[in-house]
Structure 1
């Protein structure tokens, strides 16, 4: 089943779908893999088939992003943009671990462990659930019969295969592809495919994807900042089980007392005009590693969030939230510009 890589995210933007499953088989050690060129490994990635499996994973981040100030608490009525800022910062600054279960087509479950609970995303046919045990809350969406549930569920940033599929979109004239010495990840022999930007106009030094030598499954993704020796971001499977998970794992009933919210599925028919005004679609300037995403956040007031102000520094044209791998410019006119690029690139994009 060929895959289509049609979505681009900046390589360091660090993003549960069913598409990344894998057909397992007995395999020799890493030093016994047949030699393959980068193009052949890309083909192996693209042609991987669906097969149920389960696995455990770990994500580590060291982006150089300032930690949240001690004692920061959102007001009781905080929601929407303020909560979104906190959630994004927490995802970028914290390490995560969890489990993935993939069943039949359109059937998957992601569990992300936290100190005092876990977050779950469950896809079962056209039913999508998201549950947070921390506050015993759940959201539920029923998608139209012809909708693709694999693109509707949140949490994609927590799966090595999903991160790899987004990053592989960077492959093109702006990227040099090489293959390093084979590696072993989660007990599987893997090719170490390296993506190196051919431009200095990016904060990314390289991306390395460990590709299962037999199945084409991405097993680990590391992103290293330019000029650094150790990865700033890594997500990897630590164990894999090729047997089909119990079907009951994809059935979800909210616990007693849970606060359940029904969410309307996304619409391609124009949708709610007011909702579109509050959450405008971002635009993209540039291509590949030099891409800059621009969000017109003036209607949301996101740039005025006190928490964001605490973590940014004043620069020409706005305020900067800088990390080793991604920069965020909150422009004076309310726009937010994001890219795996130097500040000067964001400022130039803001002036276009």
Structure 2
């Protein structure tokens, strides 16, 4: 199988950079089912041809990265790096609704509260029932040197996560098809991606692909030397009919505290494989290496505001030579004293070596 090599931001690091990516999660696939055999190329073609654009369903997260439990985000706080870390430990449940390419809603079900993210065209809201607070996220004003909301909402779904891992598939990845199974009541092929790079923490990534539509139903990431999946994302129920349009309308409840924030510019995409191996983006972000062993390097100026001072993040950082680090069974992040940040699906030692080489 031949696929173009691409640089990529490791899929599990995306929540640290994107405001809207606040949840990933899943459960194990169900009982084995019988399906006509397909090759890996045929299953990949099914994913590429999927026509599913509108759907709704329930997602359940399981994360076993060896990190301590992170408390739920405090009242009144909009999604960001701190809240994203909350979903890197334990289990969480959410409902997701996607209408046309500009409409989506995510409902995160906490033990005693609910958080909602609603995207409707160039308008977005984040609501926290814990303190009845709402944040209105607005696209930048016309003429400002920033980009508007993406034309397709970046909801954390198995499809979005699967596409990021598939972007890493190259000659250094063994791609096979395993036993078929049932996910959210639908029969699915299981596509397995196994990195050949001995330097990555990833043992394999399994993608459950709906046998009828080619729509990814679940993603399960296995770390080396760990029996249970380190990170998973899958539907527990799924409807492929268009959700009620009213779900994408939001009016702050009576008495709620409303804050308005203008979204910043989105990060410039990482250069593709035709550019220099370490070519920087206009924001100074660099990628060292390719595929599963790649390391993302952000200069201090490109690091999200409040990343190093966030109390939730501080709970999972350890002091190391030259800075602080987050280490887990699947991902490592190195925050240097000079403000630079390095991250990858690699051991901490590889990040330290990359930092010393700069």
Query: Normalised by the shorter chain, which TM-score bucket?
Result: 0.7 to 0.9
Counterpart mapping for 1:16-31 below 5 A:
31=33
Match of 2:297 among 294, 297, 305: 294
Is 2:332 the partner of 1:327?
yes
CA distance in 2, matches of 1:130, 1:281: 30
CA distance in 1, matches of 2:150, 2:309: 34
Q: Which residue matches 2:276? A: none
Q: Which residue matches 2:60? A: 58
SS at match of 2:178: strand
Q: Which residue matches 2:227? A: 229
Match of 1:202 among 184, 200, 224: 200
Q: Is the 8 A contact 1:207 1:224 kept in 2?
A: yes
Counterpart mapping for 1:102-113 below 5 A:
102-113=98-109
Please, which runs of 5 or more residues in structure 1 have no aligned partner?
18-28, 271-279
CA distance in 1, matches of 2:113, 2:48: 35
Counterpart mapping for 1:67-106 below 5 A:
67-68=69-70, 84=80, 86-106=82-102
Q: Which deviations, in whole Å up to 9, do the C-alpha atoms of 1:156-196 show, x marking residues without a partner?
A: 34x22221122211111221101001111001110100011
SS at match of 1:101: strand
Q: How many pairs are equivalent?
A: 319
CA distance in 2, matches of 1:33, 1:249: 36
Q: Which residue matches 1:349? A: 354
Is 2:334 the partner of 1:338?
no
Describe the shift of the 1:103–1:301 C-alpha distance in structure 2 as closer, same or farther (beyond 3 A).
closer
Describe the shift of the 1:12–1:250 C-alpha distance in structure 2 as closer, same or farther (beyond 3 A).
closer
Q: Which deviations, in whole Å up to 9, do the C-alpha atoms of 1:3-30 show, x marking residues without a partner?
A: x99883314436479xxxxxxxxxxx97
SS at match of 2:167: helix
> Alpha-carbon deviation of 1:207?
0.5
More helix by share: 1
Q: Which residue matches 1:10? A: 10
SS at match of 1:311: coil
Q: Which deviations, in whole Å up to 9, do the C-alpha atoms of 1:186-228 show, x marking residues without a partner?
A: 0111010001111111111110000001101111111110122
SS at match of 2:252: coil
Q: Which residue matches 1:126? A: 122
> Alpha-carbon deviation of 1:316?
3.2
SS at match of 1:92: coil
Q: Which residue matches 2:261? A: 263
Describe the shift of the 1:189–1:308 C-alpha distance in structure 2 as closer, same or farther (beyond 3 A).
closer
Q: Which moved more, 1:318-327 or 1:48-57?
A: 48-57
Q: Which residue matches 2:136? A: 140
CA distance in 2, matches of 1:138, 1:292: 36
Q: Which moved more, 1:121-130 or 1:219-228?
A: 121-130
SS at match of 2:179: strand
> Alpha-carbon deviation of 1:148?
5.8
Q: TM-score, normalised by structure 1?
A: 0.79
CA distance in 1, matches of 2:225, 2:164: 23
Q: Which deviations, in whole Å up to 9, do the C-alpha atoms of 1:270-313 show, x marking residues without a partner?
A: 9xxxxxxxxx6643222111111223337857446666555333
Q: Which residue matches 1:273? A: none
Q: Which moved more, 1:292-301 or 1:185-194?
A: 292-301
Match of 1:178 among 161, 176, 179: 176
> Alpha-carbon deviation of 1:58?
0.4
SS at match of 1:347: helix
CA distance in 2, matches of 1:311, 1:124: 34
Describe the shift of the 1:258–1:94 C-alpha distance in structure 2 as closer, same or farther (beyond 3 A).
farther
Q: Is the 8 A contact 1:98 1:110 kept in 2?
A: yes
CA distance in 2, matches of 1:304, 1:123: 28
Describe the shift of the 1:30–1:213 C-alpha distance in structure 2 as closer, same or farther (beyond 3 A).
farther
Please, which runs of 5 or more residues in structure 2 have no aligned partner?
22-30, 269-282
